[in-house]
Copies of this chain bind each other. A is one copy, B any other.
């Protein structure tokens, strides 16, 4: 089981200045590189405290690339609908070169109405734009004199510079919050999977992992399909402190997503069936239940070790975990403690685990 960290800031200027947030996040990047964590990731969102400090994850990852030697660098995700494929392929290729081939490129559809509105992109086109954008980026990475005739962009013959370091191209992931058909489509296309257990029930997660593996095997892709699961994580020697901090963090994260999805109350899109229910998020306190279900990794090193062993038992020890350790609502030291305890007290006790 490989373990890395994912940054999903849910703070705004009233909570923590962005200079402080990025300074702390980059110190955690250094620590992750030093302690041997597998990867660091950053999200793409706009306008709301819910991820809005990072409208361009590649900018953050480039800063991380410039000061690390080993850790992999992942988008989580970046949104093809909001950037022309020539620009998106180009900056990911620059990052792949600057980092010496450490890019994991995860792409997503996005789901916040205000983001689509600001870019002038109809939500109903989100799946088509996603599929076409990923196809165009991969073409630019793999072909010289590439010609693309899409619905949303047309170009060529052009040869993208710089050429990517990883061949045939950086690993491509699809980040999906819920839709089973997106999971199946990702596997069929040979794209790896990133998903968020916190956004579904445990049986729903198990179903998606099973569908991904079955479709990946059916398509006969070379090598194993990667499954990356995101878990908020607070580890402390003091269980009560971990639970208190974890609860505060979960409350603030839930409030942040609640504010960001509020407009779903009045939004309907054929591309997002059922998303109007998102507007109810945060209606009840589900912290204890989520800890019990293993959707939040919160507790002592022994508690979290037991959770990870249960996860490995249920989903296989070839899944990769991305720990959400720094939403910005807890002090920097809490995140540093979590990273150190995971690296020093948990991973050495797991078979086949590496951080």
Chain A residues within CB distance 8 Å of chain B: 12-13, 17-19, 21-22, 26, 46-49, 52-56, 58-60, 62-67, 82-84, 86-87, 90-91, 93-95, 97-98, 100-101, 114, 117-120, 153-156, 158-163, 165
Known contacts A19-B97, A86-B119, A155-B118; A161 and B62 CB within 8 A of each other: no
Determine if B118 and A53 form an interchain contact, defined as CB atoms under 8 angstroms apart.
no
Residue of B nearest to A148 (CB): B118
Name the distance in Å between A345's Cβ and chain B's nearest Cβ. 29
Chain B residues lying within 8 Å of A165, measured Cβ to Cβ, are 18-19
Known contacts A63-B65, A66-B62, A120-B155; A55 and B87 CB within 8 A of each other: yes
Q: How far is the CA of A49 from the CA of B161 in the complex (A)?
A: 8
Determine if A56 and B18 form an interchain contact, defined as CB atoms under 8 angstroms apart.
no
Q: Which 7 A-B pairs have the closest CB atoms?
A: A55-B90, A18-B162, A63-B66, A52-B161, A62-B62, A56-B91, A66-B66
In-complex Cβ contact of A84 among B60, B66, B119, B163 (8 A): B119
Name the distance in Å between A133's Cβ and chain B's nearest Cβ. 14
Chain B residues lying within 8 Å of A161, measured Cβ to Cβ, are 12-13, 18, 46-49, 52-53, 55
Q: How far is the CA of A22 from the CA of B95 in the complex (A)?
A: 10
Determine if A118 and B86 form an interchain contact, defined as CB atoms under 8 angstroms apart.
yes
Name the distance in Å between A157's Cβ and chain B's nearest Cβ. 10
**Listed A/B pairs (12) with beta-carbon separation below 8 Å:** A13-B162, A18-B93, A18-B163, A26-B66, A46-B158, A47-B158, A56-B87, A56-B90, A59-B94, A63-B65, A67-B67, A83-B87
Determine if B87 and A82 form an interchain contact, defined as CB atoms under 8 angstroms apart.
yes
Chain B residues lying within 8 Å of A156, measured Cβ to Cβ, are 118
Name the distance in Å between A126's Cβ and chain B's nearest Cβ. 16
Chain B residues lying within 8 Å of A118, measured Cβ to Cβ, are 86, 155-156, 158
Chain B residues lying within 8 Å of A66, measured Cβ to Cβ, are 26, 62-67
Known contacts A26-B98, A55-B86, A97-B19; A159 and B62 CB within 8 A of each other: no
Name the distance in Å between A313's Cβ and chain B's nearest Cβ. 39
Q: How far is the CA of A160 from the CA of B119 in the complex (A)?
A: 13
Residue of B nearest to A20 (CB): B97
Residue of B nearest to A160 (CB): B47
| Given contact pairs A47-B161, A64-B66, A118-B156, a sample of 8 additional A-B residue pairs in the complex whose CB atoms are under 8 Å apart | A18-B163, A22-B94, A46-B90, A62-B63, A62-B66, A66-B67, A83-B87, A114-B158
